[in-house]
Amino acid sequence: MGKSIESMFSLAGRTALVTGSSRGIGREIARTLAMAGARVVFHGSCESEALREAAAECGGVFVVGDLTTEEGVKSLIESCQKAVSSIDILVLNASAQKYMTLGEFDETEFQKEFQTNVGATFQLVEAFSPAMCERKWGRIITLGSVNQQRPSPRLTLYSATKAAQMNLTANFAKTLAPYGITVNCLVPGVILTDRNIEPLKDDSYRQKVLALVPGGNFGEVEDCAGAALLLASDAGRYITGIELPVTGGMHL
Ligand SMILES: NC(=O)c1ccc[n+]([C@@H]2O[C@H](COP(=O)([O-])OP(=O)(O)OC[C@H]3O[C@@H](n4cnc5c(N)ncnc54)[C@H](OP(=O)(O)O)[C@@H]3O)[C@@H](O)[C@H]2O)c1
């Protein structure tokens, strides 16, 4: 007798940490994991009304920590360890992004994006994977970007950090597979969140970007949530080391 759909996707008894879940894609992923039965730890760069609301809506708890510094990540890890006994599902969603192209090198931004998008990934996996290894079950999901596959001239640095993060994802997938831990990268195309409001106000830019999407429309946060649930649940237990595009075909 096969498993029921409910049991394949149930996260009952699991605890998840979703970084950057006060808003946008992270918030919707966190809400979906909670609907599937997980206890969820929400996270934001600092305490905010949005963060409090997001956690309260799902009966979750929240922690804060600025991922632009190693100390900020350490503080997030400590708060999380105080709030819950263990993390089974780690969603590395928060990122830093600035439009910056060749000829605009900025040392401060370089450090910030590499620490937030790559360094914090390393630190958080290092902190939470040993207990997953002991329990022989874990799910790690990184949030990549279509720019790791199709580098954008306007997002030179960001594209490089996401490509580096994907390399870490594949590396961790191989290292942690013997312990029942899957590590995958969910790759959004253009999703309508706060970070895209300003750039997409420019109609000619909007039309130019839209022309790159074969599906002909931008994505919604909900489009990423189902993909995350697949990777987080037992339904996805044999999937590891992949880049899963949620792009309307933009990666092609
Ligand atoms: N939206 C897209 O079109 C798109 C496309 C490709 C990839 N992605 C990727 O998908 C993920 C989510 O994107 P999104 O558009 O949903 O983001 P968003 O709407 O800009 O939300 C960002 C979230 O990350 C948190 N955050 C930002 N900087 C942080 C920092 N330094 N330390 C701790 N937390 C920080 C924010 O917390 P506060 O509320 O406290 O600021 C917020 O919860 C990112 O990894 C992004 O690179 C998005």
* Tens-digit pLDDT profile for residues 2-54: 899 999 999 999 999 999 999 999 999 999 999 999 999 999 999 999 999 99
Residues 156 and 148: beta-carbon distance below 8 Å: no
Which pLDDT score is estimated for 1? Answer: 74
In the predicted structure, residue 186 carries a pLDDT above the cut 90: yes
pLDDT digits (tens, 9 = 90+) for 123-158: 999 999 999 999 999 999 999 999 999 888 999 999
Which pLDDT score is estimated for 111? Answer: 98
The contacts of residue 234 (CB under 8 Å, 6+ apart) are 3, 7, 8, 9, 10
Closest CA to 93 of 71, 111, 77, 116: 116
Q: What is the mean pLDDT of residues 75-82?
A: 98
Ligand 1, atom 34, residue with closest C-alpha = 45
Q: What is the mean pLDDT of residues 94-106?
A: 95
pTM above 0.95, yes or no: yes
pLDDT digits (tens, 9 = 90+) for 84-98: 999 999 999 999 999
Which pLDDT score is estimated for 241? Answer: 98
> Which amino acid does the sequence have at 64?
V
Which pLDDT score is estimated for 235? Answer: 98
Q: What angle do CA 237, 176, 140 make, to 5 degrees?
A: 60
Alpha carbon separation from 42 to 65, 126, 170 (Å, rounded): 11, 19, 25
pLDDT band at 78 (very low <50, low <70, confident <90, very high): very high
Which pLDDT score is estimated for 151? Answer: 87
93 lines ligand 1 (CB under 6 A): yes
Which pLDDT score is estimated for 228? Answer: 98
In the predicted structure, residue 106 carries a pLDDT above the cut 90: yes
Q: How far is the CA of 17 from the centre of ligand 1 (A)?
A: 15
185 lines ligand 1 (CB under 6 A): no
Q: What is the mean pLDDT of residues 56-62?
A: 97
Ligand 1, atom 41, residue with closest C-alpha = 45
Cross-strand pairs, 93: none
Reported CATH class of domain 5-245: alpha beta
Cα–Cα distance between 75 and 73 in angstroms, integer? 5
250 lines ligand 1 (CB under 6 A): no
Asked about 158 being catalytic, the answer comes back as: yes
Rg of the chain taking only CA atoms, in angstroms: 17
Q: What is the mean pLDDT of residues 199-226?
A: 96
243 lines ligand 1 (CB under 6 A): no
The contacts of residue 137 (CB under 8 Å, 6+ apart) are 88, 180, 181
Q: Left, alpha or beta for 249 (phi > 0: left; psi -120 to 50: alpha)?
A: left
Ligand 1 atom having least distance to the Cα of 116:
31
